[in-house]
Amino acid sequence: MNEKNLLTRGVSEVIDATHLQERLARGDRLRIKFGIDPTGADLHLGHTVNLWKLRQFQDAGHTAVLVIGDYTAAIGDPSGKNKTRPHLSENEIKENYKQYEQQVRHILDGKRLEVRYQSEWYKKFTLKDVIGLMGSASVSSVLSHETFRNRLANDEPFSSHEFLYPFLQGYDSVAVKADVELGATEQKFNLLMGRTVQRAFGMEAQDVMMSPYLLGIDGVQKMSKSLDNYIGLREEPSEIFGKVMSIRDGEIFTYFELVTPTASETIDTMKREAGEVPTGASARDLKLSLAHAIVSVFHSESAATEAREQFLAVFQKGDVEQGARDVKLPRGTESLIDLLVATGLASSKSEARRAVEAGSVYVDEEKKNDPSEEVVLVDAMVVRVGKRNVVRITIS
């Protein structure tokens, strides 16, 4: 992997980019930190964005340092939250991490991996140590954290122990001697706190690399279990495969770049051949490859092949097309509403709009949510409303 790729793929911002680039150019072997708070037992695909970046650093010869937040998990990262999280017991945290570790090792290379627990250093902390740590940053600087600022302004619950969270995450960087820390964009304040705390302890400040978030299968909001738009790493192969096939066409290459090991050169070739936003048969074929790649990582190559065959049998060769009406249409594009009317799947534009808004419309088994979306017509395209109102398009 070349240096340019390491600094750009799946990256939204780097601080300090020039410094990090200089260290990489010198051939320095770096310690790349990524922290996980085991607040639940299951990870979803969105959680893997930073894990893949960590793997890229491993492949480039650097050491991945996975910090298990068995102390910060008890607090809960307040970033982006409008209320205090419930307290987790030590047993809950340990059990959650057991499940986490099984999932992350599908991605990370164990030969260049250090797994460290916060309890290694925080169990030895005295009150004097805590006071010294809290002295590394001012109250005003911490209250400038958007989350704290908003909660205070809105008179929302804000427990004093949450104030500790960024300090603890920052000290983790001191404890593991981090050269670089990875994290999501919304964690920027906590990541920068690592730089502040390291300087306070007489160390060179770590560089920070932030990643964008992954949109969920709705194509609208960040992937989240609470929004039910997620793809779970421990879901059955067929479930993962089907969910990947339902993502929006415009997200295909983002998924390839953020959550698969597919070479960047291969992705560039796919973009040249299919366009930045593939449509029709090209989009379908790319999603088949994407789903296969993802299932292969978290299950196996054979499981991915089986899931692909099952998907094709059910959705392209079997149930969906059984009883489908054949409709001839000229080559071109149609708005989704006009397409439903033209194929007889809706008797009027208002009925077509209601069907889309109800979440009942699928084109080649991709759920459609935008009534005005322009659909490129391709031969053998399958359009359905509900389970059994199905047409197969023939280009005349």
Encode pLDDT of 147-196 as tens digits.
Answer: 677 777 777 766 777 778 889 999 999 999 999 999 998 888 889 999 99
Please check whether residues 266 and 304 belong to one and the same domain: yes
pLDDT in tens, 52-88: 999 999 999 999 999 988 887 766 555 544 444 556 6
Whether residue 111 is found in the same domain as residue 174? yes
The average confidence (pLDDT) of the chain is: 86
Q: Show which of 285, 317, 349 is a domain's final residue.
A: 317
Q: CA 212 → CA 32, 136, 301, 380, distances in Å?
A: 18, 29, 28, 36
Same domain, 296 and 375: no
Domain boundary among 193, 211, 229: 211
b/e sequence 217-229, b meaning 16+ C-beta within 10 Å: bbbeebbeeeeeb
CATH number, residue 188: 3.40.50.620
Q: How far is residue 143's CA from residue 152's CA, in Å, rounded to a whole number?
A: 9
- What gap in Å lies between CA 292 and CA 307, rounded to an integer? 8
Are 90 and 175 in the same domain? yes
Count of domains for the chain: 3
- Say if residue 105 is in the same domain as residue 186: yes
Q: Is residue 171 part of a domain?
A: yes
Contact 244, 234 (CB under 8 A): no
One domain for residues 87 and 174: yes
Q: What is the mean pLDDT of residues 294-315?
A: 89
| Predicted local distance difference test score (pLDDT) of residue 1 | 42
**Domain containing residue 338: CATH number:** 3.10.290.10
Domain assignment present for residue 217? The answer is no
312 and 336 housed in the same domain? no
∠ CA 367-393-250, rounded to 5°: 35
102 lies in the same domain as 242: no
Kindly give the residue spans of alpha helices, DSSP state H, lying in the chain: 3-8, 17-26, 48-59, 72-75, 90-104, 119-122, 127-134, 139-143, 146-153, 165-175, 188-200, 237-245, 252-259, 264-274, 280-298, 301-311, 336-342, 349-357
Which range among 72-86, 136-150, 210-224 shows the weakest confidence by mean pLDDT?
Answer: 72-86
pTM of the prediction?
0.74
CATH of the domain at 302: 1.10.240.10
Looking at 272, 294, 317, the residue that finishes a domain is 317
DSSP letter string, 228-289: T---BTTS-HHHHHHHHHTS-GGGHHHHHHHHS---HHHHHHHHHHH-SS--HHHHHHHHHH
159 belongs to a structural domain? yes
More confident call, 57 vs 89: 57
For the residues 285-311, what does the mean pLDDT come to?
Answer: 93
Give the C-alpha distances (Å, rounded to integers) separating 124 from 98, 120, 130.
24, 8, 11
Is residue 278 within 8 Å of 286, Cβ to Cβ? Answer: yes
Q: CB-based burial of residue 81 (10 Å sphere; 0-12 exposed, 13-18 middle, 19+ buried)?
A: middle
Residues 177 and 254 in one domain: no
User: Which residue, among 363, 338, 213, 214, has the nearest Cα to 283 in the 3D structure?
Assistant: 363
Structure tokens at 331: 């080559």
Q: State whether 15 and 90 are in the same domain.
A: yes
Examine residue 51 and state whether it is found in any structural domain, yes or no: yes
Domain membership flag for residue 220: no
Structural contact between residues 146 and 187, judged by C-beta atoms closer than 8 angstroms: no
Does the residue 223 lie in any domain?
Answer: no
Question: 156: domain range?
Answer: 3-211
In Å, the largest CA–CA distance within the chain is 80
β-strand pairing of 63-68 with 113-117: parallel
Assess whether 207 and 301 both reside in one domain. Answer: no
Nearest of 20, 3, 15 to residue 208 by alpha carbon: 15
Q: Which of 220, 274, 227, 267 is nearest to 248 (CA)?
A: 220
Establish if 271 belongs to a structural domain. yes
Residue 232 lies in a domain: no
Residues 278 and 332 in one domain: no
